[in-house]
Structure 1
Amino acid sequence: MLSEEELSLLEAIRTTGSLSRAAARLGKAPSTVSHAARQLETRFDALLFDRRGYRLRLTPAGQLLADDAARLMQDVDRLTRRVRQVASGWEDRFWIVTDEVIEFELLLPVIRAFDALDSGVTLRVTHEVLGGTWEALRDGRADLVIGATNEPPAIAHLRWLELGAMDWVFAVSPRHPLARERAPLSRERIAAHRAVVVADSSRMTLGRAYGLLGGQAVLAAPTMHAKILAQREGLGVGWLPRHRIASLLERGALVEMKTADPREPNTLYAAWRGDQDGRAQQWWIEQMKQPRLAKRIVRGIDAFG
């Protein structure tokens, strides 16, 4: 590892091309700089400086040493900052997993506020679906989950809070055959048509899909947005969050159909592990407890408005 003084010497010689000018930049006598340069060559047992000609240049070996040493010093500086960061109670990184029903745009103001703390914590935001959201917390792939549905499972040290309830609409395209049938729709009539689902992302179980009837044909979409688009195009039917399709219902691009078996609203949860107590986790939990943010998360954004 090179010292900061040795790095400065290499950089001064590289940019000035002269021992005297390098010495002037470093505020040292030319003889001192020349001696330091030869000591560096002795240390590495390599010719680092090309002293031929008018200009003094780094040899390829010297250039390699200067470049790699500078990168190493930057890495050491970053590591020093991270160690101080963790020692002061901040996590090195913080991983947030949202359920697919939550739009990423809703978190942007919160992320901006977190950035203003200048904590140095690296944020990572990913999403899962249904059981995959809880599973991410259980398996250590999340420090905080937002928008998880169903009752909290048995997870060691699990802590949670309710964000609110999300309403669902059974919606079909006006061109879909079900749109012409008399409501309320029975399970048998619905099962005769293909359902569009966002597949459960659980890695350890078979997963599940809301509103899917036995024997019903399925189109598995990659995201909730894709599911909405597929149903708007008449490629299938299913339950959709009311807040995300309000404008499509208003314009008639989707039609709300009453069913014989209505779907109850889903309670959305924020959850974390109580055996972790970093400052980033504490800050994000406090944000989730804010009624205005919780209400915004549950009501969401109508991306089609």
Structure 2
Amino acid sequence: MLSAEDFALLDAIRETGSLSQAAVRLGKAPSTISYAARQLEERFDALLFDRRRYRLQLTPAGELLVQEAARLMQDLSRLTQRVQQVANGWESRLWIVTDELLEFDTLLPVIREFDTLNSGVPLRMTHEVLKGVWEVLLEGRADLVIGATNEPPSIPTLRWFQLGVMDWVFAVSPKHPLAKASEPIERAVVMQHRAIVVADSSRVTEGRTYGVSGGQPVLAVPTMRAKILAQRDGLGVGWLPRHRVGSLLSSGALVEKQMADPREPNILYVGWRGDHEGRALQWWLEQLKQSHLANRLVQGSDQFY
């Protein structure tokens, strides 16, 4: 493996094109630099320096060695940094999974604030739906889940707290037949129309849906945004997070309907594994316990983009 001195030698020769100038840059005698260059060639059993011209140049093999050495030095530097951060209680990475109900832009200020810590911990942010949120903790595919809607399952070392409460509204397009239906609307009437649902991302257990009766036609879509768009366009009906469709209700793009069987608000949870509590996770938990952040995450924005 190349040492830092070897890499410095190669880089100095490439930049100066002269053994004597490389020696000046490195603060060593020219004879020492010449000897080190030949030793390097013997070690790799390859011609690394083209000495046929006035200006010393690296051969293609020498160029490759310099490029790969630079990459290895960067990798070594990053590895050293990661080892030091883990030794100081920081994680090598923090994987955060949010329920698809939450709007990602509400987390941007928190991410910016986390960056100011200069912890060196890279973040990975993904989302899941319904049972799939808790499942990532069960399978060790996440360190922290935010906004899980189902009650916490039985997972060894699982810890959790309530983030907040999310209200729902049954809303349809003004061009949908239910827009003019008399209220309160009975479940039997809703069953005659296609429901739009966000597909459960669970990979282990059978997926779950809310507000759908047996035998009702269903269109499963990948995200809550897709569900809102589908209902706005009159492709089906269903319950929507009130905070995410406020502007559509105000503009008339969606019409709220009173139901005979109202949907209860959902409690949203934060969950993590208690046996993996590094400094980054602890910081995020402290932020999520603050009421102003919890309210922002749950209430989001009433503007639909």
Query: TM tier, shorter chain?
Result: over 0.9
Matched AA of 1:21: Q
Q: Which residue of 2 aligns with 1:11?
A: 11
Q: Which residue of 2 aligns with 1:193?
A: 193
Q: Which residue of 1 aligns with 2:260?
A: 260
Q: Which residue of 1 aligns with 2:144?
A: 144
Specify every segment of 5 or more residues in structure 1 that has no aligned partner in the other structure, as ranges: none
RMSD, aligned CA = 1.0
Residue 304 (structure 1) shift: 2.0
Residue 141 (structure 1) shift: 1.1
Q: Deviations over 1:56-92 (max 9, x none)?
A: 1111221222211221111111111100110100000
* Secondary structure in structure 1 of the residue aligned to 2:171: strand
* Secondary structure in structure 1 of the residue aligned to 2:164: strand
Q: Which residue of 2 aligns with 1:98?
A: 98
Residue 211 (structure 1) shift: 0.2
Residue 150 (structure 1) shift: 2.0
Give the TM-score of the pair, scaled to structure 1.
Answer: 0.98
Q: Which residue of 2 aligns with 1:84?
A: 84
In the alignment, the residues of structure 2 paired with residue 139 and residue 106 of structure 1 have an alpha-carbon distance, to the nearest angstrom, of 27
Q: Out of 106-115 and 29-38, give the one that drifted further.
A: 29-38
> What pairs with 1:24-43 in structure 2 (closer than 5 Å)?
24-43=24-43
Q: Deviations over 1:232-261 (max 9, x none)?
A: 110000000011111111111111111111
In the alignment, the residues of structure 1 paired with residue 150 and residue 18 of structure 2 have an alpha-carbon distance, to the nearest angstrom, of 72
> What pairs with 1:170-185 in structure 2 (closer than 5 Å)?
170-185=170-185
* Secondary structure in structure 2 of the residue aligned to 1:91: coil
In the alignment, the residues of structure 2 paired with residue 240 and residue 101 of structure 1 have an alpha-carbon distance, to the nearest angstrom, of 9
Residue 302 (structure 1) shift: 2.3
Residue 164 (structure 1) shift: 1.3
Residue 34 (structure 1) shift: 0.9
Matched AA of 2:256: E
Q: Deviations over 1:149-194 (max 9, x none)?
A: 1211111111111111100000011110011110111111000000
In the alignment, the residues of structure 2 paired with residue 3 and residue 142 of structure 1 have an alpha-carbon distance, to the nearest angstrom, of 37
Residue 29 (structure 1) shift: 1.8
Q: Out of 18-27 and 239-248, give the one that drifted further.
A: 18-27
- Residues 246 and 303 in structure 2, CA contact (< 8 A), matched pair in contact too: no
Q: Which residue of 1 aligns with 2:208?
A: 208
Matched AA of 1:250: S
Residue 3 (structure 1) shift: 1.3
Q: Deviations over 1:189-224 (max 9, x none)?
A: 000000000011100112111101111111111110
In the alignment, the residues of structure 2 paired with residue 229 and residue 163 of structure 1 have an alpha-carbon distance, to the nearest angstrom, of 27
> What pairs with 1:1-305 in structure 2 (closer than 5 Å)?
1-304=1-304
In the alignment, the residues of structure 2 paired with residue 114 and residue 171 of structure 1 have an alpha-carbon distance, to the nearest angstrom, of 37
Matched AA of 2:267: T
In the alignment, the residues of structure 2 paired with residue 224 and residue 98 of structure 1 have an alpha-carbon distance, to the nearest angstrom, of 13
Percent identity at matched positions? 71
Residue 45 (structure 1) shift: 2.0
Residue 303 (structure 1) shift: 3.4
In the alignment, the residues of structure 1 paired with residue 11 and residue 247 of structure 2 have an alpha-carbon distance, to the nearest angstrom, of 61
In the alignment, the residues of structure 2 paired with residue 183 and residue 214 of structure 1 have an alpha-carbon distance, to the nearest angstrom, of 22
Residue 21 (structure 1) shift: 1.4
Matched AA of 1:209: T
